[in-house]
Amino acid sequence: MTLSSLPTSRHNRPREPRFSLALYHLFKWAVVSPILHTYLRGRIYGAERVPQQGSLIIVANHASDFDPLIVSNCVDRPVSYMAKEELFQVPVLSQAIRLYGAYPVKRGSADRSAIRAALHQLENGWAVGIFLQGTRTVDARISDPKLGAALIAAKAQVPLLPISLWGTEAIFAGSKLPRPAPITVRIGELISPPSSTNRLDLESVTQQCAIAIHDLHDLGR
């Protein structure tokens, strides 16, 4: 399935659902942004590069549980991430995280269910967030980039946006409570999706994303 194969009314849907957008801005300005810009002394570069309408895949490095909230805050639009299926069995929590863009993934079938769910979110105008390594790394570097983001981009034919998170690995370093570590977020240039789902095409775009993120990360604070 590609976005171009969808009915026109869905393909042209400019944004996420309005209620989700309102909930995002409420949480951003009341909670995340004050913490990021004061306690974490956050800096953001390249925010003007983020498309504010249409489907998008955001790829980033990953070193902290705070990373999804930080990314969503800095791109000024909701970002949809996968979450454990068990979280969606809690009545109130389930409604809240769905509205915020989370989608469930079953244990043991993460690859298949994640791809289907991500494509569904893209069909509905969301930005989908994917950490290129697939898990956290202690140094925030990407040593083993996965092909999932490129595969989803190829199937949906939507662009990828590389983002570097600098300093988030220090938020919980040696402490159970978040530390006031300085955070820098750098947003890169859009990268075109692979022209096909051929493995070589996927590997080429995946490496392009990893290099872009590392180049941004090397700029430091």
Q: Is the pLDDT of residue 2 over 70?
A: no
CA distance 179 to 188: 27
CA distance 211 to 162: 9
Q: How distant is the alpha carbon of residue 117 from its chain centre? A: 14
CA distance 159 to 184: 23
Q: Is the pLDDT of residue 205 over 90?
A: yes
Question: In the predicted model, what is the mean pLDDT of the chain?
Answer: 89
- Which domains are assigned to the chain? 14-217 (3.40.1130.10)
CB 55 within 8 A of CB 10: no
Residues contacting 178, CB < 8 A, separation 6+:
39, 66, 171, 172
CA distance 80 to 129: 6
pLDDT at 11: 41
pLDDT tens, residue by residue, 152-184: 999 999 999 999 999 999 999 888 889 999 999
- What band does 63 get if pLDDT is binned at 50, 70 and 90? very high
Question: Of 34-43, 76-85, 110-119, 152-161, which gets the smallest average pLDDT?
Answer: 110-119
Q: Is the pLDDT of residue 108 over 80?
A: no
